[in-house]
Chains A and B, each alone.
Chain A
Amino acid sequence: MSEPRADYLPEAIREKLIHDPRVAEQDLRVDVQAHRVMLGGNVASPQLKQQITEVAQELLPGYEVVNETTVVSAAEPDSEEPVL
């Protein structure tokens, strides 16, 4: 990608990640400092987390990608809630 001004780079990356069908996550946090891009938020699977790292690396070759996203548990619940 043609690199936007540094002030706008995190948002440009966030937009690219939303529109990449391998990612399509609207809730990722993106921060860029020097030549390091840091990613945060929740993801559904380890596979998706890995895909996000790969796509971010494609978007910013030469940058270090630090993927701090959290894989959310999909375990069965321990209990139930009476609501009525």
Chain B
Amino acid sequence: MIRIAAVGDLHYGAGSTEILRPSLQHLHDRADLLLLAGDLTRCGGPEEVTILADELRGLPIPVVAVLGNHDYHADREDEVRRVLEDARVRVLEGEATTVDIDGVRVGIAGTKGFGGGFRGAHGSDFGEPEMKAFVGHTKTLSDRLDKALTGLDADLRIALLHYSPIEATLEGERLEIYPFLGSYLLAEAVDNAGADLVLHGHAHHGAEKGRTPAGIPVRNVAQPVIRHAYNIYTLDAGRQVLPAAAGGIR
């Protein structure tokens, strides 16, 4: 049994010291891995993420993260990434990593992802260059997610995102902003490649639980949604979810 702790949207900034630290003290007794689903900072400042990195440094379990839109705001995402990596946090963007937990290979493929909307109402890369860039960014990151997941050689596979792949975990948000909260292209990538769990953040007023069209569990771990320092999900490597093309869940 693999125990995954996950949270997103911590939004560290001035005054955030000690928010997470008390809850991290016993984390290694309760979880094998900590996954961070983006928006780790308020404005994307390296000095903001340093506060979080100092709380994570020395944790005795692996920590894997993706960045979120806030982490890009200062155009210093490379520095944000370096600060995290200096604290031994593995940061993924269109990449994957594998962690060995008691002989079980847990693969994590991660991307920030982006918006666009959902089936029947997705934006198209058509018209103005700004619109092409917007939807093109989502397509690029979704393609990279598909490849990163597909390339994983692991017993369990997790997709770690910031933006949402499905509408169900956005319930509670205003419909007008759905296109800025996620894209079905992310779900399509996950369903094509196959995964056992999808984690995302970004939708602070959304719902925690949903599934992709192929039935893969999706959890919105935005901190205002889970209302805890993190949530813990357990996975049994003996019960894997296959891509829909291979027969769906077994």
State the A residues within 8 Å of B (CB): 21-22, 24-25, 27, 41-42, 44-45, 47-48, 51, 72-77, 79-84
Contacts and interface: CB of A to CB of B under 8 A. Distances in A.
A24 B241 contact: no
Contacts of B124: none
Given A80-B234, A84-B217, A84-B236, A74 B43 contact: no
B197 to A, nearest CB: 6
B72 to A, nearest CB: 13
Nearest to A77: B228
A45 to B, nearest CB: 6
Contacts of A83: 196-197, 217, 219, 233-235
A21 B43 contact: yes
Contact of A80 (B10, B196, B232, B236): B232
Contact of A22 (B14, B19, B217, B241): B14
Given A24-B43, A51-B15, A74-B19, A84 B228 contact: no
A39 to B, nearest CB: 15
A83 to B, nearest CB: 5
Interface string B221-250: 001101111111111100111000000000
Contacts of B233: 80-83
Nearest to B180: A26
| The 5 residue pairs across chains A and B that have the minimum distance between CB atoms | A47-B15, A80-B232, A42-B224, A84-B235, A24-B42
A47 B12 CA distance: 12
Nearest to B1: A82
Nearest to B69: A26
Contacts of A27: 204-205, 224
A77 B19 contact: no
Contacts of B240: 84
A25 B13 CA distance: 11
B236 A75 contact: no
Contact of A77 (B70, B204, B219, B230): B230
Contacts of A80: 3, 30, 231-234
B11 interface: yes
Nearest to A22: B14
Contacts of A76: 23, 26, 30, 228-230
